Amino acid sequence: MSAINRPRRTVVSALAAGLALSAAPWARAAQEQVVRVGYQKSSTLITVLKANGQLEKRLAGLGVRISWHEFTSGLPLLEALNVGSVDLSADVADTVPVFALAAGARLVYLAQEAPSPSAQALVVREDSPIRSVADLKGKRVAFAKAAGAHYLLIALLEQAGLRFKDIEPAYLSPADGRAAFERGAVDAWVVWDPFLAGVQRQSKVRVIADGSNDVASYQRYYLASTPFAQARPDVLNAVFDELRGAGVWVKKNPREAAALLAPVWGLDADTVELANGRRSYEVGAVPARSLVEQQRIADAFHGEGLLPKKVSTAEVTLWKPAA
């Protein structure tokens, strides 16, 4: 039988209003036998399962149907998870749960993808005078707030002896970030795949740095609302199994996966294959040791004044699949 593992105690403190909102919707959804899945355009494995119908087939055997909900970025996705608008979250960057926890979210860590440090990077235009991270001082840098790219930038700046306040941040979605980058409205852009692969193949850019060499491991997490995790461990087991299978399939069949994802993402297959080659897609349960980096991320954001309060990742809830 599945279990939720609580490293120290089962606590993810939440605002009273958030608790009330998060519990009631699943009670209704359970009666209707609906699971609401939130995802982003870059949620590769969920996109594969949505496209091939495999997850819907698997859950139909449990008497459950899926309601799909697309979000532009990870932070609003987890906000929706916390207030009960969705029950499960497709993968989000390792920074996003930290912001949600700081806001009092009650989240269960369902699974993670193994590190993919080169799947996000800092890029500049080919003719840019910027040659190193140190050259970013006083420059305008675009990135999505709370995304893995946000932490990558902080870590790179620290490595170069700079602080976040030494640059001018431009909080932009990937689509807006690319537009600003290509018209010269920003000096640099920090972004993740497949957006990174897209700009590399379609524009003249240079990669200044990525997360390699222990800068930022870039693990992506799948999460569930606490009420849902407690109510339907059977669904969590099924989702976990299908995610693992999808990850293995993508890595073993790169061309077929690229052909499936290309029309969904609006990219050519070669660009998708380039992006997928930098992601591990190795799905596993979340071990307690992974929370060490989550804590480091939380401390980095708090140290830069970007989190309203300190976060203790020792208090988060980890789910474990059935044996």
Residues 142 and 158 in one domain: yes
What is the spatial distance between Cα 316 and Cα 4, in angstroms, rounded to a whole number?
11
The pTM for the full model equals 0.85
Give the amino acid at 281. Y
Which tens digits make up the pLDDT trace of 187-218?
A: 999 999 999 999 999 999 999 999 999 999 99
Nearest to 79 by CA among 62, 99, 59: 99
Do residues 298 and 310 touch, judged by C-beta distance below 8 A? yes
Identify the pLDDT of residue 4: 41
What is the spatial distance between Cα 264 and Cα 259, in angstroms, rounded to a whole number?
9
The residue out of 182, 210, 238 marking a domain boundary is 210
Residues 77 and 225 in one domain: yes
Under DSSP, is residue 161 helix (H, G, I), strand (E, B) or coil?
A: coil
Structural domain for 123, as ranges = 117-210
Q: Token pair of 128, please?
A: 């840019």
- Sequence-separated (6 or more) residues with CB below 8 Å from residue 281: 44, 45, 113, 246, 247, 248, 250, 251
CATH number of the domain that 129 lies in? 3.40.190.10
Residues 312 and 238 in one domain: yes
Place of tokens 């926890």: 101
- Residues facing residue 68 across a β-bridge: 37
Quote the number of domains for the chain.
Answer: 2
The packing angle between helices 254-265 and 269-277, to 10°, is: 120
What is the spatial distance between Cα 69 and Cα 39, in angstroms, rounded to a whole number?
6
pLDDT bracket for residue 22 (50, 70, 90): very low
Residues 145 and 190 in one domain: yes
